[in-house]
Amino acid sequence: MKLKLDADGHAVLENGHPVYVHDDGKEIAFDAARTTETIKRLNGEAQTHREAKEKALNDIGTLQQQLKVFEGIDPEASKKALQQLKDIGDGKLIEAGKLDEVRSAAKTEYETRLKQLQDEFGAKEGKLMADREALQNHLNTEIIGGSFARSQFIAEKIAVPTDMIQATFGKNFKVVDGKLVAVDASGNQIYSRARPGELATFDEALSTLVESYAHKDHILKSSGSSGSGAHASANGGGGGGSGAKTMSRTAFDSLNPFEQSKVARSGVKITDE
């Protein structure tokens, strides 16, 4: 990244901010004051999260030490066992010869009740996890799907159907704490170039993902110049008419079966060029 200079060797400004040119040729105005504020805010948030985590770990450690005293004890079974011991002390279970019988009965009752509680807990836990997963899936569908449907980048730059783009890049977006987050192929979060230190917007992240996509020439709209026919384009003069979209056979064959099915259902015409 380097500073953009005019013909006289002076720094080029945009809204009072110096303009820098990235290695890929994109120009970004650098707001130093805003970047400094963002870094300060992120450092403060990181410290707050670290202190909260340390306190939580200390609290958990204290609770674990306290609960060790009660490991392996079932409250209901303990109450019954104490009552039975009291009954023995009061002579209610009569002969000492029946002590083994009483012990065996108490053990059987304890094991039965423990199994019942484990089954009940397992059923409730399973339902809770299923409900949580269903809610998360619904949230992801609404937020991620809506972002693809409303994307200005897709409307202006992409030549193939929106659902095909979502099928290809949807896995790179996830919802974290109710917010949409984009990640690259390595699982790293994608940050904004225009707003250093902040996460990229949906369109900015999708643009970055498309730029690094091996078959981007097959999904971007044609620039209008004559070429090899590898792009999906519209029939008619000027490269932007209202006719049906076309895709070269080479581009179509490079897609996976799911994407090919999407293209076929969308009405895109496959050409041999």
Note the pLDDT tens digit of each residue in 244-258.
Answer: 577 887 777 777 777
Choose one of 14, 39, 60: the last residue of a domain.
60
Same domain membership, residue 234 and residue 192: no
Tell me if 32 is assigned to some domain: yes
Q: Given its phi and psi angles, is residue 8 left (phi above 0), alpha (psi -120 to 50 degrees) or beta?
A: alpha
Q: How many domains does the chain have?
A: 3
Q: For the chain, what's the residue count?
A: 273
Tell me if 262 is assigned to some domain: yes
Mean pLDDT of 196-213: 92
> Which among 137, 153, 157 is positioned nearest to 145, based on CA atoms?
137
Choose one of 195, 213, 231: the last residue of a domain.
213
Instruction: Give the pLDDT of residue 122.
Output: 83
Q: Indicate if the alpha-carbon torsion angle 229, 233, 235, 236 is positive or negative.
A: negative
**32-46, 142-156, 237-251, range with the lowest pLDDT:** 237-251
Greater model confidence, 93 or 48: 48
Residue linked to tokens 């449907």: 149
Same domain membership, residue 188 and residue 127: yes
Choose one of 174, 198, 213: the last residue of a domain.
213
Tell whether pTM > 0.75: no
Instruction: Give the pLDDT of residue 237.
Output: 34
Instruction: Give the pLDDT of residue 132.
Output: 76
Same domain membership, residue 194 and residue 120: yes
**Which of the four pLDDT bands, split at 50, 70 and 90, describes residue 206?**
very high
**6-10, 80-84, 156-160, 242-246, range with the lowest pLDDT:** 242-246
Same domain membership, residue 180 and residue 247: no
* Residue 23 structural domain: 1-60
Tell me if 67 is assigned to some domain: no
**Which of the four pLDDT bands, split at 50, 70 and 90, describes residue 89?**
low
> Which among 249, 211, 226, 209 is positioned nearest to 260, based on CA atoms?
249
